[in-house]
Structure 1
């Protein structure tokens, strides 16, 4: 569409008072879209033939100040809008400021009987507020414009700006998973354009949100109350990523940026060569009867680490789209590439598998202390395209395609430089370790969708979906060696590296999995008029066939050396296979870690929406979901439990939503819905895998979770971008799943296992405020969440009876919050937007209160994460027409992540009184178990929009 000159005329004729002008007042008002009510931000308002001009602010207002008395012709320019009616404006010293509001109508050529989606699609804050206000259920939105101007480059990091949402971070501090209303990531699901996508994770169903570049979406919906036509496996909430649609006119945008992380100012980026890594294990290539050889099948070049000083981060993105054939055919293509070098330094204490009983029960004790340095290079590639064709006013069809690819190259170096704990010896044995991990994740989706108006009152829509997610970890490799450290008065005198025989020195693991969905959706809508009121009936359902595969193959080698052989390098060591039954290198891909699973999900629903009275809307109905899952491992059928299994259950999920229209801009909502959470496929299987700290094992006896959910919310939308939301929620969970640290027969062996616990409750309140004052604005939200669950814990203590003193382990009940739930969560952003100057600035602070990170088997020894707050800054400045410079700065305050145990450390042995364990907070009554440092990162670039 070409530029249109919008003029509002008035007669010019009244002479100025005297020879000089009198400063009588000003002209102010609002400029909005006639159809949507959205402010036309950036429209220019000019007094013709004068020097007076301004632009429309973020809230739709404009203000021409210090205007001389007289009659003026106002000129409003905004691309793509018709000329409005003329209005006469007179300024004199008697009546001061004049207020004039303008509503402009789009000048886009209309297609006869064809509707093309327009501005109200949530791409900016104004249309996002409109969607929230008109929604049938409780939701919060982030618009594409909001995300673009935020400090975030992935959807995972953007999620932390939403009310009630916190993020689970990776080893380098980047957001990865979302926790909604204190509900762990397992209790949330992820949709793309309303369609569920599979997860590339090897054990769980939840999708890593960092795989999505933030610039690829039109809006991000966080749906907190489910209606019957939505999939019912979300207790915390549903994340719906609405992707870009074909625009009404030609669209082209491109951006590129560069930056770096300051963590590498103090530590080098440690990389490893990955071009020659074998993506398949020796057994996959040659068959299970093949005897692997060393070094032939296990090259050690992957351990040839190299330092890179201040590596440069970079991003590149592009979007192009238009409509053709008289606007009937819409096409849009979007691509994004990101290459980031990130790192962290992690200081950790390792708790003993069993506490001590002195001086009190369950006294905290540690077996080791070490430092880990992470260096991670992440490549992200996102591609999406959509074609839609409007046959006529009754029939449209679209084809959407999405491909996401992420490579993550991580080096973990554990120098173990703290020389042990409570050691009075002059010599200490350490085991430095290097680990190289290449993780490949892919998500692909193709959705064919159709909408058909079968009659005046009947509409049908359908979707055929094919999706596939996969994760590959080829040749994950790590090796360790021994070092004898000699100290004198606490100072290191010498370090002698040696190799000890009969200990594992090198491990190689191949792991990959796929999750494939074939699904069909069908919805039928009927809108009759009953008792002089419009009623909407909906019915439909879905069928999904899911296939999940997982492959795991591991080899362990040890050194064929004499005792205390000096260690000069992994390339120079003679190695042989460690396990006696695997002495010739036969594959170990026989066990519960290799499996195939199938899941058939069928669902149907009915729902109705109608107005009970003029101001009260009711939406209610019921959904039924049937789940039938089976899995088969490579364990022999004679295995006691878990070699194979089936799980089948049916859930009836009613829901009802009341929406009371207090006024045009005020709503009161009350909702009830029942929902579920299915365990991950790997969690059912009795797998046994090494984790970051503890070995993880599965649980074939796991049950799925059911929950009753209540929501109450008051909404006020006083301005076009302003809002005030306040509400509360209540959730009661049956068979919630928590991860417990458990022992396996021996107190020296610790495992993590998913287990069902007793029923749990989660109650909370949310408040959201957004207010703009011309060019300045503030957006803030706060969520209070309180959950309670009671579980059985162990108490290791000393008992004195008439028969003497003994040490026993008893079972006790302990109440605590749900894992991952923080009592206090808040965000505040200060905004400055000057359309005339082309400047946007955002200072954003996100706060997450303390929460349980790891549940202990022993009472009082859970590991908590301390409150974490991160301050970020972003800005954008127009430098030429269509060209913008932007910058994003993260973690301005160098905030570390700390994990602690709510018990001060007490040295038991009298010989070590006064011993100070490392990296503790001075004067605290708790023990810091881990401290992770990420430091500041910078990103700056150029963006062009046509």
Structure 2
């Protein structure tokens, strides 16, 4: 552990002595270019923030410290703060904020509450999610290069939507610059566990590297025709073999070994300009970016078949390789005339993962099924997420004491996952079996178990939103804000799963074939003994016994809507010079429906639908008292809600490739209702420097919790409302600058040390009575909550301890920053244990990062170099169960250390 620390120390000190403008650069240019300025100094900072019920663009505030002057408890990451962290996406930067942690692929937890209790807005307007498991958007799809600021508000105010369990995260995209510019950048990097090492992939299509593909993943003709017919797959008139024979090819069914995985790389370009047209300033900003990254994980996955975890049921070792390609573009137009401002923002993001998995298992002798048998697992998949968002925001000032803000937006999100292929081969290891030393796939569960499956899933979501806010100064230092907001979310999701099923007619020699040959038309349709039914596959049924079984469940397609009307009133008043009050209430009337869509002409019994129609009056109040000019205290109280997410309501099995978990929804979930209170002391002892400490408390009625249950050898994660829970904790935050120059010249002139740290301690407890009922579909009727939840257990996703520390050196006149970043999160439960077993939890541990940024004037231009080193301690990812001295790993792997070097030039 000392080597990474020594490396960071050397990097920090050596980079700190780099002169802001090198002698070589000065000699190379005939004219000394303007110095590369550091990020704006705090006194001159202009943070662009766009939220409902406030100034659309908050710039040039009476104090640059928004945290101090905001009527609520907020944390703001401006462009300089985001840049200092060096994170490539906004989720990583938010992980440095007090009380926030990032779980999985970009889902932000506020104060230990799950992502369902966090609300994400873009420029004050709601966002749809491209994730089938979530209604909230994963924030790792937002490159930090397109974000001007991120505001995190932890105490509720009525101008924000009522789904405010832990807090709201408002992202503001970059607006029009005051000066024209063009910036071009590129990065290259690698990972110690991936780059240049063993990984897996598959061909796919020739243009997969773009993240779009070239049409090679279009639905096969036979499958598309059957899907449109409305017939069940087992209908006698359906030629299953013709459909099955078109699914698997050498392009999508063969996992290929790569002993030298490529490097990560990316590029981006950003530009902007403003024009003054007769008193109206017109502005334009545009940005485009592309990244291509690889990640390999050697994962251990286990399950136990004993309550004390003393014996293994499964023990799989699997290598998972992801090729993640992200393309993004932003186009913003604005106009300013007098005190009126208009902004039109258009955003496009496409995030694609091309995944290949190869696993092996020697089934333990204690296994419930197939003890002593060896298995080989092979999977290929393509997950494409896309977000298109267009927003219009206007701020009008018709009178000195009246302001009108309007917002309107449309967003579309999509997720496509065609051809999710999985294959299981087995080896009996029996000396009496002539094929006992070979892996075979007989496509059945007999003496030589094997399987093959394919899935197609598609999600499309449209979100329409609008709002208007009127701010009226009814008296000196007293403002009243009236607002109305409307949002309409419509989602259609479809998933179809199929098993390739064989019988004993498959020759053992054929079962040795690789997947694309085993499931080729030649094998499925040979020999053509029956009369011609389809010219491509005349045998129906196949003499080899290979057929398709629809394993989707009761229904493949669901439609979900969430329509919400909201009105609010809020008073912001300075009652005394030292006393400020913000009080208001929000009324929301919402309809949430999730229902199965009949996909077949003759439909089976459909799963139950969800129809939640509730009205809420949500009060909120915050009092801020200034003890001294630099000290103040805040007290706040409010009521908020958290609605079930769409996918949590859909009774349909879904596989999450990131966590290797199966999920299934519960249509009987209801809203969670929260009562919130907190107090906070803040001391702003110097410009942009502060110390704060606060405490918070929440009571949650009907919190939605996850629990695990066994379906055969597979573990399925399900959802249910626990009766009640409480959450409380303490937050501490400090930010300090130390002048290193001492007023003297030399290498330390204009340099200062940056010391930033925050710590959150929290506790949560479920309250489960002996007779409390729970609706845990598919378990019929009301069952006891104590069968699923343990009284006094913590909430899922909540860590008792969260720590973030930033130690750095920076130049106040030129761009030169060197920062060590340390983060720690204690254990947190991911789901309740199955069948009486202990809870499953993850151990994030400590992460050590180093980021250096250096500006260099060269050839008359401004260059920036950035070096990043992440996870220098090599902290492993662990998701596990423990009982006494026994431990079971659900996911165990080494993420590795990541290094990258980037450069940009500004014209």
TM-score by length of 1: 0.77
Per-residue displacement from partner, 1:774-798 (whole Å, max 9, x unpaired)? 221211110001000144899xxxx
Residue-by-residue CA offset, 1:75-131 (whole Å, 9 max, x unaligned): xxxxxxxxxxxxxxxxxxxxxxxxxxxx9999xxxxxxxx99686489xxx94xx11
1:909 alignment counterpart: none
1:890 corresponds to 2:836 = no
Deviation string for 1:151-204 (max 9, x for gaps)?
A: 41111211211111111135xxxxx21111010111101111111101111132
- For the pair 1:818 / 2:776, whether they are aligned, the reply is no
- Whole-Å separation in 2 of the counterparts to 1:860 and 1:902: 9
* 1:425/1:625 CA distance change after superposition, 3 Å: closer
Q: Which moved further from structure 2: 750-759 or 265-274?
A: 265-274
Structure 1 CA distance for aligned equivalents of residues 561 and 198 of structure 2:
45
Q: Deviation of residue 543 (structure 1)? A: 1.4
The Cα shift of 1:888 comes to 0.9
- Report matched runs for 1:526-537 at 5 Å: 526-529=472-475, 533-537=476-480
- For residues 637-669 of structure 1, the C-alpha deviation after alignment (integer angstroms, 9 at most, x for no partner) is 986673434221111110001111233332211
Matching residue of 2:758: 781
Equivalent position SS for 1:149: helix
User: Does the CA contact (< 8 Å) of 1:347 and 1:371 recur in 2?
Assistant: yes
* Contact 1:727/1:767 (8 A) holds in 2: yes
Deviation of 1:524 (Å): 1.1
CA distance in 2, matches of 1:714, 1:208: 32
8 Å Cα contact 1:377-1:408 kept in structure 2: yes
How big is each residue's C-alpha offset from its partner over 1:37-69, in whole Å with a ceiling of 9 and x where there is no partner? Answer: xxxxx99xxxxxxxxxx99999979xxxxxxxx
The CA distance in 2 between the partners of 1:586 and 1:347, in whole Å, is 30
Which residue does the alignment assign to 2:442? Answer: 500
For the residue of structure 1 that corresponds to 2:121, the secondary structure is strand
Task: Give yes or no for the alignment of 1:751 onto 2:716.
Answer: yes
Cα distance in 2 between the residues matched to 1:408 and 1:710 = 41
What pairs up with 1:653-692 in 2 under 5 angstroms? 653-691=618-656
Give the match for residue 844 of structure 1.
Answer: 821
Counterpart check, 1:370 vs 2:316 = yes
Contact 1:283 1:587 in 2 (8 A): no
CA distance in 2, matches of 1:604, 1:886: 46
Find 2:848's aligned residue among 863, 871, 875: 871
Matched, 1:346 2:346: no
2:195 aligned with 1:272, yes or no? no
Residue-by-residue CA offset, 1:351-375 (whole Å, 9 max, x unaligned): 23xx35xxxxx56542011111110
Contact 2:313–2:363 (CA under 8 A) maintained in structure 1? no
From the superposition, tell whether residues 871 and 793 of structure 1 become closer, same or farther in structure 2 (CA, over 3 Å): farther
The equivalent residue for 1:605 is 568
Aligned length: 783
| 2:900 paired with 1:939 | yes
Match for 1:738 among 705, 708, 728? Answer: 705
State the Cα distance separating 1:483 from its structure 2 match.
Answer: 2.1
Do the aligned residues in 2 keep the contact of 1:889 with 1:939 (CA within 8 Å)?
Answer: yes
User: 1:314 corresponds to which residue?
Assistant: 265
Is structure 2 residue 149 aligned with structure 1 residue 219? Answer: yes
The 2-side partners of 1:610 and 1:451 are apart by: 22
Equivalent of 2:159 in 229, 240, 245: 229
Task: Report the RMSD for the aligned CA atoms in angstroms.
Answer: 3.5
CA distance in 1, matches of 2:547, 2:85: 56
1:65-464 equivalences under 5 Å are: 120=60, 127=64, 130-170=65-105, 176-264=106-194, 267-275=197-205, 277-280=216-219, 282-284=222-224, 287-288=228-229, 289=231, 291-292=239-240, 293=242, 294-308=244-258, 309-326=260-277, 328-352=281-305, 355-356=306-307, 364-393=310-339, 395-416=340-361, 418=362, 420=364, 428-464=372-408
C-alpha separation in 2, matches of 1:852 and 1:811? 14
Q: Separation in 2 of the partners of 1:242 and 1:481? A: 50
Please give the secondary structure, in 1, of the residue aligned with 2:516. Answer: helix
Change (3 A) 1:118 1:617: closer
**What is the CA–CA distance in structure 2 between the aligned matches of 1:702 and 1:540, rounded to whole Å?**
30
- 1:557 Cα deviation after fit: 0.8
Residue deviations 1:376-409 (CA, integer Å, cap 9, x gap): 011111211211112333x332211111111111
Inter-CA distance 457–516: structure 2 relative to 1 (3 Å threshold): same
Residue 155 of structure 2 aligns to a residue whose secondary structure is coil
Gap change, CA 1:674 and 1:186, over 3 Å in 2: same
Equivalent residue, structure 2, for 1:760: 725
5 Å-filtered alignment, 1:509-908, equals: 509-529=455-475, 533-559=476-502, 561-562=506-507, 567-573=512-518, 574-575=523-524, 585=548, 591-634=554-597, 642-691=607-656, 693-742=660-709, 750-774=715-739, 775-791=752-768, 813-835=790-812, 838-859=815-836, 861-881=838-858, 882-904=862-884
Q: Quick check: 1:260–1:938 contact (8 Å CA) kept in 2?
A: yes
Measure, in 2, the Cα distance between the counterparts of 1:185 and 1:104: 35
Tell me: CA distance 1:304–1:118, structure 2 relative to 1, closer, same or farther (3 Å). same
Aligned equivalent of 1:920: none
Task: Tell me the CA shift for residue 613 of structure 1.
Answer: 1.9
Deviates more, 1:190-199 or 1:836-845: 836-845
Deviations 1:816-839 (A, max 9, x none): 110010000001111011356742
1:186 partner SS:
helix
Q: Partner of 1:428: helix, strand, or coil?
A: coil
Pick closer, same or farther for the CA change 1:595–1:369 going to 2, 3 Å.
same
Higher deviation after alignment, 181-190 or 850-859: 850-859
Instruction: Provide structure 1 residue ranges, at least 5 long, that are not aligned to the other structure.
Output: 1-41, 44-53, 62-102, 107-114, 171-175, 357-361, 488-492, 795-808, 907-925
The alignment partner of 1:528 has SS state of strand
For the structure 1 residues 466 and 825, does the alpha-carbon distance in structure 2 shift closer, same or farther, using more than 3 Å as the test? same
Give the structure with the larger strand fraction. Answer: 1
Q: In the alignment, is the contact (CA less than 8 A) between 2:881 and 2:889 conserved in 1?
A: yes
Q: Write the deviation string for residues 541-583 of structure 1: whole angstroms up to 9, x where unpaired.
A: 1111221100112221134524586524123323589999x98
CA displacement 1:725-772 (0-9 Å, x = unmatched): 21111111010000111356xx86743211000110000111111111
Using the TM superposition, give the Cα deviation of residue 233 of structure 1 relative to its aligned residue in structure 2, in angstroms: 0.5
**Aligned in 2, Cα 1:387/1:677: closer, same or farther, shift over 3 Å?**
same
The aligned counterpart of 2:5 is none
How big is the shift at 1:899? Answer: 2.5
Q: Secondary structure at the match of 2:299?
A: strand
Q: Could you say if the C-alpha distance between residues 501 and 620 of structure 1 is closer, same or farther in structure 2, counting changes exceeding 3 Å?
A: closer
CA drift at 1:272: 1.2
Q: Secondary structure at the match of 1:572?
A: helix
Offset at 1:411?
Answer: 1.1
Residues 438 and 60 from structure 1, CA distance in 2 versus in 1: closer, same or farther, beyond 3 angstroms?
closer
- Following superposition, the deviation at residue 453 of structure 1 comes to 1.7
Flag the 1:57–1:269 CA change in 2: closer, same or farther, 3 A.
Answer: closer
CA distance in 1, matches of 2:127, 2:541: 41
SS in 2 for 1:274: coil
Query: What's the CA shift for 1:420?
Result: 2.6
* Residue of structure 1 in register with 2:745 after alignment: none
Superposition pairs of residues 24-39 of structure 1, within 5 angstroms: none
Instruction: Return closer, same or farther for 1:821/1:571 CA change in 2, 3 Å cut-off.
Output: same
